[in-house]
Amino acid sequence: METMNTTDIIDRIESVIGPREAFTPLHIPIFDEREVELLRECVESNMVSSVGAFGNRFEAALADYTGAKRVVLCVNGTSALHLALRVTGVQPGDEVMLPSLSFVATANAVRYAGAVPHFVDVREAHFGMDPAALQSRLEAIGEQRDGGLFNRETGRPIRCVVPMHAFGHPVLISELLAVAKRFGLALVEDAAESLGSFYEGRHTGTFGDCGTLSFNGNKVITTGGGGALLFNDDALADRAKYLSTTAKRPHKWEFFHDELGYNYRMPALNAAMGCAQMEKLSGMLKQKRALAARYAEAFADLDGVRFVTEPPGCQSNYWLNALVLQSDSIETRNAILDATNAGNIMTRPIWTPLHALPMYADCPRGTLDVTRSLAKRIINIPSTAGLGR
């Protein structure tokens, strides 16, 4: 094994994607004439807002691909997660268990619901919520009372668990679901990054009470902005659809809203782009997996760094490829980030852990030793489908 240095990192990335004369972004969308064709069709139909054929068509394509019984489109992944929390019973003042090692939208959606994030540690291998850490934390602070599980330290109800499939790698979702059921908690999967990822043959986002997807411009497929909820329960799906359309009761001409709802509907223009993107999803996933395989081979003999591969029994979409440094020196990580970006290769660290952000610094948390360590050691590298072909 060779010992890692900054030059070795750059050399191995370039051995996969080729030498860089121009800047290589981390992840960009893939478009062709099909997107233009369907967008033109949508414009010519005059149905460019939240009605028309394209929304239904996109929902059906997602349901067919993921195996979800129902899909409800939203304006973005954060709104989808907010709706998921609402329909699964999260109330203002509740606590929601989630990883600190996640994008800020996961915690923001909890706050939008009026609830309080409660941070749990993750596994070293794939950055997902650790079932053992979740169980240990709930055993330490949980108390069963009339009305469910309560945090004996804060007095607040604990209502829901929100694991996140980081960079498209599935968490140990069956184990997490078992813990949630043991304590009587709902489970919402933040599958924003994992369209095209499967756990033991089943698509992420379809295990819990519901799951959410994101179609932001940097995701595997994009609608510019956009998100979706995945359901296997018709009643929950109906309620999410209702709340996403400003809680308006269906009527030929009357506008009557009987509770607080949200204007979270995906415009048909975005859905039209989503339909075109779904047609090329399988091909892009094959390209992304091939890229990941080349990275894995390139970094296999380099001591001091690990290329992250899919968990056993899983199929990952490899949304963002990641390196994990052995050293937890933030100076080492930053030196690599500086050198790669200066060399026309976009790299980035993982998100600042949520518990370290000022608006979440006072939230309850378990032991977060793995989270703190990983935050100093993870580097994302270029991951666009077809890169380096």
DSSP letters for 142-155: EEEETTEEEETTT-
Query: Are 118 and 96 spatial neighbours (Cβ–Cβ below 8 Å)?
Result: yes
Residues 242 and 290 in one domain: no
Residue 68 has pLDDT above 70, yes or no: yes
Residues 63 and 209 in one domain: yes
The answer to whether residue 386 sits within a structural domain is no
Average pLDDT over residues 313-337: 96
Residue 75 has pLDDT above 90, yes or no: yes
pLDDT for 153-170, tens place per residue? 999 999 999 999 999 999
Residues 64 and 205 in one domain: yes
The answer to whether residue 366 sits within a structural domain is yes
* Number of domain units in the chain: 2
Strands (E) located in the chain: 2-3, 70-74, 95-99, 116-120, 142-145, 148-151, 158-161, 186-190, 198-199, 202-203, 210-214, 227-231, 302-303, 305-307, 314-315, 321-325, 348-349, 378-381
Q: What is the CATH number of the domain that holds 316?
A: 3.90.1150.10
The answer to whether residue 387 sits within a structural domain is no
Residue 338 has pLDDT above 60, yes or no: yes
Q: Report helix, strand and coil shares of the chain as percent, to nearest 5.
A: 40, 20, 40
Q: How far apart are alpha carbons 54 and 46 in whole angstroms?
A: 12
Query: Are 116 and 365 spatial neighbours (Cβ–Cβ below 8 Å)?
Result: no
Average pLDDT over residues 82-97: 98
Residues 356 and 242 in one domain: no
Of 279, 299, 331, which residue is a domain's last? 279
Q: How confident is the model at residue 2 (pLDDT cuts 50, 70, 90)?
A: low
Burial class (CB in 10 A: 0-12, 13-18, 19+), 145: exposed
The pTM assigned to this predicted structure is 0.95
Domain coverage including residue 86: 33-279
Residues 149 and 109 in one domain: yes
The residue type of 299 is: F
Would you give the DSSP letter of residue 225?
A: S
What does pLDDT average to over the chain? 96
Q: Residue 255 is encoded by which pair of tokens? A: 């506008």
Of 240, 260, 279, which residue is a domain's last? 279
Residue 317 has pLDDT above 90, yes or no: yes
pLDDT score of 219? 97
Q: What is the CATH number of the domain that holds 264?
A: 3.40.640.10
Residues 235 and 132 in one domain: yes
Q: How confident is the model at residue 52 (pLDDT cuts 50, 70, 90)?
A: confident
Q: 383: alpha, beta or left, given left = phi > 0 and alpha = psi -120 to 50?
A: alpha
Q: How far apart are alpha carbons 266 and 51 in whole angstroms?
A: 9
pLDDT score of 117? 98
Residue 4 has pLDDT above 80, yes or no: no
Q: What count of other Cβ atoms lies within 10 Å of the Cβ of residue 325?
A: 20
Q: Residue 172 is encoded by which pair of tokens? A: 């140990």
Average pLDDT over residues 252-266: 93
Residues 242 and 344 in one domain: no
Query: Are 3 and 303 spatial neighbours (Cβ–Cβ below 8 Å)?
Result: yes
pLDDT score of 1? 47
Residues 119 and 249 in one domain: yes
Q: 109: alpha, beta or left, given left = phi > 0 and alpha = psi -120 to 50?
A: alpha
Residue with the bigger pLDDT between 319 and 147: it is 319
Residue 3 has pLDDT above 70, yes or no: no
Residue with the bigger pLDDT between 51 and 176: it is 176
Of 215, 245, 279, which residue is a domain's last? 279
Residue with the bigger pLDDT between 1 and 85: it is 85
Would you give the DSSP letter of residue 122?
A: B
Residues 311 and 186 in one domain: no
The answer to whether residue 389 sits within a structural domain is no
Average pLDDT over residues 251-273: 94
